[in-house]
Amino acid sequence: MDLLARLVDFYVGTVETNAVSLESVTKTFGSVRAVDDLTLRVPRGQTVALLGPNGAGKSTAIGVLLGLLPPDSGRATVFGLDPERAVRRGRVGAMPQEGGLIPRVTVRELLGFLAGTYPAPLPLDRLLALAQITHLRDRRVDRLSGGQAQRVRYATALAGDPDLLVLDEPTAALDVEARREFWDSMRGLASRGRTILFSTHYLEEADEQADRIIVVDRGRVIADGTSADIKRAVALTTVSVTARGDATWLGALPGVRHLEIHGDRAHLRSGDPDATVMALAEAGAVRDLQVVPANLEDAFVALIRKETV
């Protein structure tokens, strides 16, 4: 029977083109609608960043797609299978935001135990090398630094040699060097056809590493595309000038969607920078004028603030 189930899973997993599929998923906690009618599909082989402000619903969506949280309505599948089943088959490796490590065992014992739960685990030496924790193999898990524990969590995600990696803020505790090594390793996996879904608050990581960015807010998708698509869609350019005295009037100039004043510098986010610059010139307020096209962080802030071009 188990063999038959495996054959069915294998067949479904082969014909399904999406690694991840959330269909109209809603998940509430009391009065909080953490995920609200969310539909999201990730084709095989893509590296996708999930962005959103604190409390946007990223971890909840990840919990549903890993089968850790039952949705109130809607459905999650992973390679066409129920998430629990895909996890049991070793198709999915997950890296939780925190926790997830058993105390009082060594790194080697923890990973050895995990390997025994998967049908086709990675050999231990290879796993230790991939996560760059070979030197930590005999260290107790509860005596690791934050960054070391994060690498061990990464190893636990890779243990079953998964086709899909789901990583919730994977680089949160890592120093600059470790972060770079982590992304090198991740790119290696992506180049071997693995699907990667990660959440992050580091927008430059999303910009550099992801083929596609999905921005969620209040449990819903508010933007979905390449980094360039999202910047283009929001396309707010920052026009900065030196302005002494009360500069709040600059916020009313043509094209200006948002005004920030830091000391004597005024930063105007504009959907029509030509019109804004013309108006500044007419008003004689072009001292130290600087025009900087939107970056992903600008686009993200504009999206969350619901500024539109």
Ligand X SMILES: Nc1ncnc2c1ncn2[C@@H]1O[C@H](COP(=O)(O)OP(=O)(O)OP(=O)(O)O)[C@@H](O)[C@H]1O
Distance CA 206, CA 211 (A): 9
Give the sign of the dihedral formed by CA 171, CA 173, CA 176, CA 180: negative
* Residue 69 · residue 60 · CB < 8 Å: yes
Nearer to ligand X, 62 or 243 (CB): 62
Whole-number minimum distance, CB 62 to ligand X, in Å? 8
Nearer to ligand X, 45 or 53 (CB): 53
The candidate with the shortest Cα–Cα distance to 243, out of 290, 275, 278, is 290
Nearer to ligand X, 67 or 121 (CB): 67
Nearer to ligand X, 218 or 265 (CB): 218
Whole-number minimum distance, CB 49 to ligand X, in Å? 13
Nearer to ligand X, 16 or 72 (CB): 72
In sequence order, what DSSP letters do the residues of 241-257 get, joined into one string? EE--S--GGGGGSTTEE
Give the sign of the dihedral formed by CA 78, CA 84, CA 87, CA 92: positive
Whole-number minimum distance, CB 69 to ligand X, in Å? 8
Whole-number minimum distance, CB 203 to ligand X, in Å? 13
Give the max Cα distance, the chain.
80
Nearer to ligand X, 118 or 300 (CB): 300
Whole-number minimum distance, CB 65 to ligand X, in Å? 12
- Angle among Cα 33, 38, 44 to the nearest 5 degrees reads 140
The three-class DSSP label of residue 199 is: strand
Nearer to ligand X, 57 or 83 (CB): 57
Structure tokens given for 173: 């505790």
* Residue 293 main-chain phi, psi, to 5 deg: -60, 160
Q: Which residues bind ligand X (CB under 6 A)?
A: 29, 32, 34, 52, 54-60
Whole-number minimum distance, CB 33 to ligand X, in Å? 8
- Angle among Cα 171, 172, 178 to the nearest 5 degrees reads 40
Whole-number minimum distance, CB 154 to ligand X, in Å? 18
In sequence order, what DSSP letters do the residues of 80-107 get, joined into one string? TB-HHHHHHTT-EEEE-SS----TTSBH
